[in-house]
Amino acid sequence: MSKETNWYDYDDGYSIGTSGTDGGIIVRDEEYNFAARMTIEEDGSFAPFSITCTIYSLMSHTRFFSDEAEAEQEFDRMRDDLEKILSLVAADGDADEDALDEISDEISEFVEKFP
């Protein structure tokens, strides 16, 4: 990867090939500083490919794709935007009311941008 990132293979890559939350087989699985996770699954319950984004204890969002190349491209786009949201979350997970409002607004914008 050319860009420095705080994302790394979830569970040291051991989750690849296992069953995911959408009932498919995990083909890509990354985690951000023990705060968020993104997964691509193949042959899930609803579509040939799905992406599930989770910010632990805050949100989970899934998108569906018919094409692996599109899913991979969208994964990268979503990951960059998700990282912006994660920058608002304090390292200890605590946030004041104003910060929570901003985080909530950013999550809403994320879901709207990536339906």
Query: What are 20-73's pLDDT values in tens digits?
Result: 999 999 999 999 999 999 999 999 999 999 999 999 989 999 999 999 999 999
Residue pair 49/102 in contact (Cβ under 8 Å)? The answer is: no
Residue range of the domain that includes 26: 7-113
pLDDT at 10 over 70: yes
Residue identified by tokens 């605590």 is 94
pLDDT of residue 49: 98
Question: Per the domain annotation, does 51 fall within a domain?
Answer: yes
Question: Per the domain annotation, does 1 fall within a domain?
Answer: no
pTM above 0.75, yes or no: yes
The tally of domains found in the chain comes to: 1
Query: Across all residues in the chain, what is the average pLDDT?
Result: 91
pLDDT at 101 over 50: yes
Question: Per the domain annotation, does 2 fall within a domain?
Answer: no
Residue identified by tokens 């899934």 is 62
First to last CA, the chain: 26
* Average pLDDT over every residue of 6-18: 96
